[in-house]
Structure 1
Amino acid sequence: MSADVFTIDMLRRILLEGAGADDETAVTGDISEMSFEELGYDSLAALETGARIGREYGLELEDSTILDAATLGELVTSVNQQIQALGKV
C-alpha cells in the first residue's frame, strides 16, 4: 500500500493488528506524545511494528529509526520523511 502521508491513525491500526484487539484500550486517544514503553510495548514489539510499517508501505526502516523515536509522533514523522525521500508522495 502506498500513501501520501503516514498518520498516527495508520500507526494505531498497525499497533492494534500486531497486538490484537484485546489491547485496543491502550492505543485510544492521543498517542502521538507517548512512547512504545508507555503503551506497554517492549523493543521486540516496537521492531515488529516497524517491520509491519515497512512491509505495508514499501519502506526499509532501520531499527534505530524505530528504537530511537522518543514518541510515536516522532516515528510517524520519520516514516513520512522516508516516504518523501523515496518520492512516494
Structure 2
Amino acid sequence: MERLELDDLKRILRECAGEEEGVDLDGDVLDLNWFELGYDSLAVLQTTGHIEREYDVLLDEEALDDADTPRRYLAMVNEVLSARAAV
C-alpha cells in the first residue's frame, strides 16, 4: 500500500515552499501548525498540488482546513491513499 510518510512530506514542502530560517523540519514537527513551521496557506496548497500529481490522488479541499499540522495532513492524505487501494 502506498503511503505518504513524514520524510516524503518534508521533502515536498522543501521543494514547493522552501524552509524558513530557524525552523528545523528534521525536529519534532508532527504537531506544530503550519504557521509555526513558517508555511502559509499558499505553501500548503502548492504542496497539496504536488502530492496530488505525484501520488495521483484528488484531495478534499475542505479536509485541508482541518489538516493544520503535519500529523493531521499525513492522516488525511493516507486515508485517501488507503481508500484508493481498497478499491
**Counterpart of 2:57?**
59
Please report how far the alpha carbon of residue 25 of structure 1 lies from its aligned counterpart in structure 2 after TM superposition.
Answer: 5.6
Aligned pairs, number: 85
Q: CA RMSD in A?
A: 2.0
Aligned counterparts, 1:5-84, within 5 A? 5-20=3-18, 23=20, 26=23, 27-84=25-82
2:15 and 2:85 map into 1 onto residues whose CA distance is 27
Distance 1:59 1:24, change over 3 A: farther
Structure 1: unaligned runs, 5 residues or longer:
none
Please report how far the alpha carbon of residue 70 of structure 1 lies from its aligned counterpart in structure 2 after TM superposition.
Answer: 2.9
User: Runs of at least 4 residues of structure 1 off by over 3 A?
Assistant: 22-25
Please report how far the alpha carbon of residue 14 of structure 1 lies from its aligned counterpart in structure 2 after TM superposition.
Answer: 0.3
Structure 2 letter corresponding to 1:48: Q
User: Which is richer in helix?
Assistant: 1
Please report how far the alpha carbon of residue 33 of structure 1 lies from its aligned counterpart in structure 2 after TM superposition.
Answer: 0.8
TM-score (normalizing by structure 1): 0.81
Contact persistence 1:16–1:23 (CA under 8 A): no
TM-score (normalizing by structure 2): 0.83
